[in-house]
Structure 1
Amino acid sequence: MGHQYDFYIAATPEQLWEILTGPEGVRQIFFGCELRSTFQPGEDLAYVGPGNDGPETVHVYGTWLEWEPHHKFSYIEHPGPSYAPNHAELESRVTFTFEPAGSCTKMRLVNDQFTPGHPAMERSGESWWMILSNIKTLAETGKTLDFGW
């Protein structure tokens, strides 16, 4: 069980890659976070930024599975320690792919392989819609959405 989303975005795979992996794009899309990683399969990653534990809150951490620039990246993720006491036991897989489609790009996100009973299974379905809409808006307009927070 999991979630799959397909978005068609008026941007190149390279532009979307930069939004999702570059420092400025990550900060804008992932609520002020920084993606800390060597970007090598088998290596660790962490989204760190303002949150429950102050400015260095680990929101999500995990391990890269695949890293193919401008085409695909995939990782196993865990919620940060402040989100669940059993965070290390809770995991899911996140996979983004980018495929040219005419003058735009088909961006697919699959979030699957959830640990049975993972509390974020339902919540992630809602938050991904917001993040993906924000990616599309940023890529096409240069601005992010104001969610009223």
Structure 2
Amino acid sequence: MELKYEFYINAGLEEVWSALISPDGTRSSFFGSELRSNFQPGQPFAYVGPGNDGQETVHVYGQILEFEPLSTLSYLEHPGPSYHANHEELQSRVSFQLETVGECTKLTLINDQFTENHPSFANAQQSWWMILSSIKSWVETGKTLQFGW
């Protein structure tokens, strides 16, 4: 199973990269969560924000696979402990790639290597459209999309 999305954003690599890793960028697009990591391959990361367990809910966590500024962010992820009792057994890989196309940035997201019968696959299929649309909107306009949650 593989999910693949390509978005063209009317901004430079720096702005799109910031939306993927900075606290303001991730809060604006990843359901109010901050991406916390030292971004070293092999090291942990977590998206932490408001949710089931209060303000410090771990929504997704895992291990950084690749981090190349302005180009690539890839990680193995697990759903947070409050989502599934067997969260440690559930895994997928997420890879963001950035490249310059004319005066735009092409953002490619691939979410693959899902554990068999991963219960979050259908949710990911829907959520990535919202997250990527939010990134595009935030980078281009400075405004976030309000999904009414």
Correspondence for 2:57: 57
Separation (CA, whole Å) in 1 of partners of 2:147 and 2:34: 20
Report the TM-score, using the length of structure 1 for normalisation.
0.98
Correspondence for 1:120: 120
Question: Identity of counterpart residues, as a percentage?
Answer: 61
Contact 1:93 1:111 in 2 (8 A): yes
Contact 1:91 1:114 in 2 (8 A): yes
> Which consecutive segments of 4 or more residues in structure 1 shift more than 2 A?
none
Separation (CA, whole Å) in 1 of partners of 2:123 and 2:54: 22
Correspondence for 2:144: 144
**CA RMSD, Structure 1 to Structure 2 (Å):** 0.7
Correspondence for 2:99: 99
Separation (CA, whole Å) in 1 of partners of 2:118 and 2:62: 15
Separation (CA, whole Å) in 2 of partners of 1:26 and 1:148: 18
Contact 1:13 1:70 in 2 (8 A): yes
The answer to whether residue 30 in structure 2 is matched with residue 14 in structure 1 is no
| Post-superposition offset of 1:2 | 1.3
| Post-superposition offset of 1:16 | 0.5
Separation (CA, whole Å) in 1 of partners of 2:13 and 2:34: 21
| Post-superposition offset of 1:89 | 0.2
Instruction: Give the gaps of 5 or more residues in structure 1.
Output: none
Return the letter of the residue paired with 1:7: F
| Post-superposition offset of 1:27 | 1.2
| Post-superposition offset of 1:95 | 0.1
Correspondence for 1:84: 84
Separation (CA, whole Å) in 2 of partners of 1:33 and 1:119: 21
Contact 1:2 1:121 in 2 (8 A): no
Separation (CA, whole Å) in 1 of partners of 2:105 and 2:32: 25
Q: What's the CA shift string for 1:66-85, capped at 9, x where partnerless?
A: 00000011000000000000
Separation (CA, whole Å) in 2 of partners of 1:28 and 1:106: 19
Separation (CA, whole Å) in 1 of partners of 2:34 and 2:6: 25
Correspondence for 1:38: 38
| Post-superposition offset of 1:31 | 1.9
